[in-house]
A and B are shown apart, each in its own frame.
Chain A
Amino acid sequence: MNEVPALSPARTLRQLFLTLFLRGRGARGLRRDRAPKSIARKLWLTLGLYGLTGFLALFFVRQPVFALAVYLHAMTFMFLGMFVASSAGEVLFNKEEGDILLHRPVEPRTLLWAKVRVLVEVSLWLAGIFNLAGFFVGVAAPDGGWRFPLAHAISTALEALFCTGSVVLVYQLCLGWFGRERLEGLMTTAQVFVSVAVVLSAQILPRLLIHSRSFTGLAIGSWWIVFLAPAWFAGFDDALAGSAAMSSWLLALVAAGATAAVLWTAFGKLARTYEAGLRSLNENVSPRGRNQGRRRWLDRLVNQSPLRWWFRDPVTRASFVLTSAYLFRDRDVKLRIYPGIAPMLVMPFIVMFQGHGRGGFRHGSFGVAFASSYLGLIPLLTLNLLQYSQQWQASDVFRAAPMPGPARLCRGARRAVLCFLTLPVLVIFGATIWLFQGGTPDWVLLLPGIVALPIYALIPNLGGRSVPLSLPTEEGKSTGRGLMMIPVLLVSAAISGVAALARRGGWFWPFVLVEAVAALVAYLAMSRSIAAVPWPSME
């Protein structure tokens, strides 16, 4: 009987990374028969949500192929970009896997390809399910037909390759240009920028097209469309299964050319840089004195008046310093949080500028009010994400300390998030309003959102949950977070709507007063409830 040969390293690694992706990298305490299902179930839920969102393509029934394709590719670009940007750091440059894989006889290019293949594969699942409804809508488009599904499938696959290749390329370039010492910080920065760029690109294009009011004429022929990646792939669809205009063929050429160039540069030319990057991550020597200034600054901050009074509880102060340190320094936490909140940073500006576009910024009072309410999602999401850490086992020290429950730790974490994330964003919003509204800024419309902020920040801690850095990162992969944000968004929209009405109707200040009283009552009740929660039992 012939011996079954061993799988090739490429196939072995592809299988490995797909398994790790589906099960997660840390599965402490799980049994094998439970592990795959636990993540796969979430994946099915995610795919289901993507599939349902895809039905929004029905709004484009009877629209030309280019308009439909722009919408589909813009949304796909955003979903895939966000997915790849948030996953790539962990998948491509995982510090922990150095001790496991780097001494094995595997070429760095093989390792890189295996990881990218998994990213592309999962991207294609997500893209495929999201575009499912769009395939049929395209068949019914006036200039569409049965060629559309095939053309769109090809362009979506190209888009997935382009997205993955671009993110890998950004990392490779950071490595090549800036070297090991600055790699970790730069990777995080690059990831945040990629996330923001993806959201912007995907949000701006459909809006520009809607404002142009002529989906095919002005948009395809406009020079600026060449700078928006989703339009290239839409051009591909339109060239092969739509109007077949010359400009569409040009866009299709750009799509194919850009994808080929990105892949060649990322995987052909710069593959060697990847090996250097992996080796660098394994050199666990931190540059001397790198964060000393920041450490001193943090210590000084909490020990100065009036903050010294705000941090008079030593546990709250310690938790504030700990959380701040992780927000500034820990690569894993930064890679999870900053790309995660990128849409929260971009969307309020888009909402504000939408108001600006429709009859002047001054008439966009709902936009301004909504922008500040939207701010509440920043502490909500950040505190939720902050509970996951690769060093979660170190949180045993919290339980070992003489504290009845996690309330004071949660308070410190909340304050760190409010100080270092929410407040700066609020200042930026204020400055933006001032810049675009000239002499009479509508700053007061930010008030209803600001008043609601502390309440939003308490939500993650209800029931003693979201203790900072206390859970394995694996448990952070949940679609439940997105579901939790929906009611918060609805409440934000309601508050903003009423605030805008109140402003117009002349009863804005009474409204703010009522909201403040209600917020105070809710804050006290929620704080008391959180303070009463004991440590949950450890499983």
Chain B
Amino acid sequence: MIVLDKLTKRFGPQTAVDALSFEIPAGQIVGFLGPNGAGKSTTLKMLTGMIEPTSGSAQIGGFDLQSETIEVKRRVGFVPESGAVFESLSGLEYLEMVAALYGIPAKAALARIEQFIAFFDLGFDTLTDKLLGAYSKGMRRKVVITAALLHNPPVVFFDEPLDGLDANAAVGFKALIQTLAREGKTIVYSSHILDVVERVCHRVIIIDKGKLLLDGKPDELVAAHQAGSLERLFTQLTGGAELERRAEDFAKTFRP
């Protein structure tokens, strides 16, 4: 469903994504991990057609990212890390606008939106009366997730989707994406909450400084590296263990 072949992005002399290659079949949930600045968001933005790759290629659902960008975009849903929305629209106006951009007829769009409202426990009045600028972070995140799934895309990219969601909504969301994967959707899940990734994802891809470090099933990778947990494995690979030790020293400087 998703094929990357030496996908590269450079910003001047800086290489953000360095010849990244992997394939993701339909129905798989892939945890896409890496420390800050590793190139995760840049990769996701390239795969959603938001920024142009410097070199390499990618295909989504059989469509070439660079020559058939609009077709790719039709088949992709994206929850960006920023959770950006047009704050001066009401939730309903925003979702109707998004639905129209995918060519969903108004009536069908409304029916679909109502399904999401019911799932996320968003009141319909809230969605119609309040502007998005007045929503809490969690409510806004629910609207952004709804906007990403409204057109029923076969591929969904999530960049820190749980940010702002309360515990109940997070549990519901995790169950939702597992079910979506069983229905054949391909899900790329980028997050720093590694225990969630470990529980939800069929596979993890870890990158650092734009390069692929590891690719495999979470339990197999943890066992192969004798790390005990995905979090421990991640810190081993990306220098987090050193930071843990430095944190202890640094905290001592706060002693009166």
Contact = CB atoms under 8 A, between A and B. Distances in A.
A binds B: yes
Interface of A: 3-7, 9, 12-13, 15-16, 19-20, 23-33, 35, 96-100, 102-107, 181, 276, 279, 282-283, 285, 287-288, 474
A95 B45 CA distance: 14
Contacts of B14: 285, 288
A5 B104 CA distance: 8
Given A12-B101, A279-B50, A285-B14, A30 B131 contact: yes
A6 B131 contact: no
A3 B107 contact: yes
Interface string B30-55: 00000000000010010011111000
A31 B129 contact: yes
Counting chain A CB atoms within 10 Å of each CB, the highest count among B42, B45, B86, B109 belongs to B86
Given A6-B100, A6-B105, A24 B88 contact: yes
A147 to B, nearest CB: 42
A332 to B, nearest CB: 15
Interface stretch (B75-83, B222-230, B243-251): B75-83
8 A-B pairs closest in CB distance: A27-B88, A28-B133, A103-B48, A23-B88, A12-B100, A99-B84, A105-B73, A99-B80
B220 to A, nearest CB: 32
A103 B49 contact: yes
Interface in B4-20: 11-14, 16
Given A31-B130, A96-B82, A100-B86, 20 more contacts: A3-B107, A4-B106, A6-B104, A7-B100, A9-B100, A12-B100, A13-B101, A16-B86, A27-B87, A27-B131, A28-B87, A31-B129, A31-B131, A100-B84, A102-B49, A103-B49, A282-B50, A282-B51, A283-B51, A288-B12
Interface residues of B, number: 48
Contacts of A279: 50-52
B134 interface: yes
Interface of B: 11-14, 16, 42, 45, 48-52, 70-71, 73-74, 76, 78, 80, 82, 84-90, 93, 97-109, 128-134
A139 to B, nearest CB: 41
Given A29-B134, A105-B74, A279-B52, A35 B105 contact: no
Given A9-B100, A282-B45, A285-B16, A32 B87 contact: no
Contacts of B84: 96-100
A7 B60 CA distance: 27
Nearest to B72: A105
Contacts of A102: 48-50
B73 A30 contact: no
Contacts of A181: 12
Contacts of B109: 6
